Structure 1
């Protein structure tokens, strides 16, 4: 289907879309956590696939890995663009903190939470803290993480689970 798409075959592209769009949309949604933005990202992904299908053979990746890589990278780019501009999440978080934490109290509490999280991440060690950050802040899948740190997916999943449990214990202290 990718080879057909590279040759401009619209039927092959339509079939590729039908077969892969549910999984690629799920990836966009898991990274972006916003359905309309995930749908926009998916549209951009398929434009990139249409335009770059000829480069797939030179990438050395399996077809699905190539598609997932394009999708995850596009979603993460959108996420980074979103987080680089001001959002209302801080004001929503401050509002949900309740009336006891307003103004500088809320900002101080927010800063304390971040400091506490950073201290707990340091206790995990650089490799595990980096894995937690990339998996949960950048939307890396277990498969992507296992490839990055060169370990089986089941080990990467258990590694992250253990790290999260240690973080939970540390933060609750």
Structure 2
């Protein structure tokens, strides 16, 4: 099977900045489904996720000229636009239920692990998820939860520290060491 040509995100953003509507259509065709999956994992509401992806596409279209390749990848910038909108929506509509700490911790851990499995399925990461899953399971539960909260749930280090009732420096160290362990395991 011949390899598909690499999608040029930088050129596509430059074309969007120049007002080329077909570029935005190509970008949406390339990443729309994955953007929706990421946003839906954060907001946990399909209709809201669709609205956020729409808003993200509008922002990407109108702000494409602001993309600076010196600050990161074009694809990363696209996802950060969508992720930031999703996180803002969660913060703006945050509702809290009164549950005891043990129940909250169990629900957080379960939701994060379920979100990881959903994300692996949604992105069809068959090869990398096949390697990443066992590596994640080798981490201590609290460290695995830090990684999942950060990269699946989209929480900041401060939010993770509050949720786990752990010092911020400890959470940052757990994440740093866990990422190193994951790199080693997958290497």
Q: TM-score, normalised by structure 1?
A: 0.56
Equivalent position of 2:154 in the other structure: 138
- What is the CA RMSD across the aligned residues, in angstroms? 3.6
Distance 1:136 1:153 in 2: 18
SS for the counterpart of 1:11 is helix
**Residue 151 and residue 60 in structure 1: after superposition, are their counterparts in 2 closer, same or farther (change >3 A)?**
farther
Equivalent position of 2:37 in the other structure: 26
Equivalent position of 1:64 in the other structure: 75
Deviation at 1:131, TM superposition (A): 4.4
Alpha-carbon displacement from aligned partner over 1:32-63 (angstroms, at most 9, x marks no partner): 11100100110110111011100113552212
Deviation at 1:67, TM superposition (A): 0.9
Bigger CA drift: 37-46 or 53-62?
53-62
Query: Greater relative contact order: 1 or 2 (C-alpha under 8 angstroms, separation 6 or more)?
Result: 2
Equivalent position of 1:43 in the other structure: 54
Write 1 or 2 for the structure with the bigger share of helix. 1
Equivalent position of 1:3 in the other structure: 14
Equivalent position of 1:100 in the other structure: none
**Residue 30 and residue 128 in structure 1: after superposition, are their counterparts in 2 closer, same or farther (change >3 A)?**
closer
Report the count of equivalent residues: 123
**Residue 53 and residue 114 in structure 1: after superposition, are their counterparts in 2 closer, same or farther (change >3 A)?**
same
Equivalent position of 1:76 in the other structure: 87
Deviation at 1:149, TM superposition (A): 3.6
Mapped pair 1:155 → 2:182: yes
Give the unaligned 5+ runs of structure 1. 91-106, 118-123, 159-173
SS for the counterpart of 2:65 is helix
SS for the counterpart of 1:25 is helix
Mapped pair 1:12 → 2:23: yes
Q: TM-score, normalised by structure 2?
A: 0.52
Alpha-carbon displacement from aligned partner over 1:2-22 (angstroms, at most 9, x marks no partner): 110001111111111111101
Larger radius of gyration between Structure 1 and Structure 2: 1
Give the unaligned 5+ runs of structure 2. 1-11, 107-139, 157-171
